[in-house]
Structure 1
Amino acid sequence: MSPSPAPPRTSAVGRKIAIAAAAIGVIYGYDIGNIAGALLFIGDEMDLSTAELSSITTVLVAGNIVGALVAGKLAGAIGRQKSMVLVAIGYAVFAAASGLVSDVVSLDIVRFFLGVTIGLSLVVAPVFVAESAPAAIRGALVVCYQVATVTGILLGYLVDWSLAGSGNWRLMLAMSALPSVLVLLLLIRLPDTARWYLMKGRREEARATLALTDPTVDVDRELAEIDADIASQRGGVIREMFRKPYSTATAFVLILGFLVQITGINAITYYSPMIFQDMGFTGYGALLGLPSVVQLAALIATIGAVFAVDRMGRRPILLGGIGAMVASCVLMMIVFASGSLSEDGSLWGFLGILIFTAAFNFGFGSLVWVYASESFPARLRAQGASLMLSADLVANMIVAQFFLPVMDGIGGTGTFGIFLALSAFAFVFVFRLAPETKGRPLESIRHYWENGAQWTKKEPHGHA
Structure 2
Amino acid sequence: MQGFSRSPGVDGPLSDAAREGRRKIWRWAGLIAVGGFLFGYDTGVVSGALLFFKQDFHLDRFQQGSVVSVLLLGAIAGALGVSRVSDRWGRRMTLGLEGVVFLVGTVVLVTAQGYAMMLVGRFVLGLAVGAASATVPVYLSEISPASIRGRVLTVNQLLLTAGILVAYGVNLAFSSSGNWRAMFAAGGIPALVLAIGSLRLPESPAWQLAHGQGDRARAMIASVAGESRADEVVERFESTRRSLQQEDDSQRGRSVLLSARVRPALAVGLTLAALQQFGGINTIIYYAPTIIQETGLSASNSIFYSVAIGAINLIMTIVAIRLVDRLGRRPLLLFSLAVMMVMLALLGLTFVAGLGSVLPVVFMVLYIAAFAAGLGPVFWVLIGEIFPANAHAAGSSASTAVNWTSNFVVSLFFLPVVGLIGQGETFWVFAVVCLLGLMFVLRYVPETRNRDFAEIDAELQARAGRRPVSRTSQ
Same fold (TM over 0.5): yes
Picking from 316, 321, 329, the partner of 1:301 is: 316
Is the alpha carbon distance of 1:154 and 1:127 closer, same or farther for their aligned partners in structure 2, counting shifts above 3 Å? same
Distance of 2:209 and 2:428 partners within structure 1: 49
Determine helix, strand or coil for the equivalent of 2:384: helix
Q: Does 1:244 align with 2:269?
A: no
Deviation string, structure 1 residues 109-139 (Cα, Å, up to 9, x no partner): 1211110111000000011011101111011
Amino acid at match of 2:260: K
Report matched runs for 1:268-417 at 5 Å.
Answer: 268-284=284-300, 286-341=301-356, 345=357, 347-417=358-428
Query: Are the counterparts in 1 of residues 41 and 164 from structure 2 also a CA contact under 8 Å?
Result: yes
Which residue of 2 is the match for residue 254 of structure 1? 270
Distance of 1:143 and 1:217 partners within structure 2: 30
Paired positions, count: 452
Report matched runs for 1:23-422 at 5 Å.
Answer: 23-215=34-226, 218-230=229-241, 231-232=243-244, 233=247, 234-235=249-250, 236-284=252-300, 286-341=301-356, 345=357, 347-422=358-433
Query: Are the counterparts in 2 of residues 257 and 392 from structure 1 also a CA contact under 8 Å?
Result: yes
Give, in angstroms, the shift of residue 229 of structure 1: 4.0
Query: Are the counterparts in 1 of residues 283 and 414 from structure 2 also a CA contact under 8 Å?
Result: yes
Is the alpha carbon distance of 1:457 and 1:57 closer, same or farther for their aligned partners in structure 2, counting shifts above 3 Å? closer
* Runs of at least 5 residues in structure 1 that lack an aligned partner in the other structure: none
Determine helix, strand or coil for the equivalent of 2:191: helix
Give, in angstroms, the shift of residue 225 of structure 1: 4.1
Deviation string, structure 1 residues 229-282 (Cα, Å, up to 9, x no partner): 433253422011111211221122111111111111011111111111112222
Amino acid at match of 2:339: A
Amino acid at match of 2:202: P
TM-score, reference length from structure 2: 0.89
* Runs of at least 5 residues in structure 2 that lack an aligned partner in the other structure: 1-14
Determine helix, strand or coil for the equivalent of 1:188: helix
Give, in angstroms, the shift of residue 339 of structure 1: 2.5
Amino acid at match of 1:116: L
Query: Are the counterparts in 2 of residues 301 and 361 from structure 1 also a CA contact under 8 Å?
Result: yes
Amino acid at match of 1:273: P
Query: Are the counterparts in 2 of residues 71 and 383 from structure 1 also a CA contact under 8 Å?
Result: no
152-161 or 366-375: bigger deviation:
366-375
Query: Are the counterparts in 2 of residues 89 and 181 from structure 1 also a CA contact under 8 Å?
Result: yes
Distance of 2:257 and 2:103 partners within structure 1: 34
Distance of 1:444 and 1:127 partners within structure 2: 21
448-457 or 348-357: bigger deviation:
448-457
TM-score, reference length from structure 1: 0.91
Amino acid at match of 1:254: L
Give, in angstroms, the shift of residue 13 of structure 1: 3.9
Query: Are the counterparts in 1 of residues 278 and 406 from structure 2 also a CA contact under 8 Å?
Result: yes
Deviation string, structure 1 residues 318-363 (Cα, Å, up to 9, x no partner): 111111101101211321232323xxx2x22111111111111111
Distance of 1:38 and 1:114 partners within structure 2: 15
Which residue of 1 is the match for residue 442 of structure 2? 431
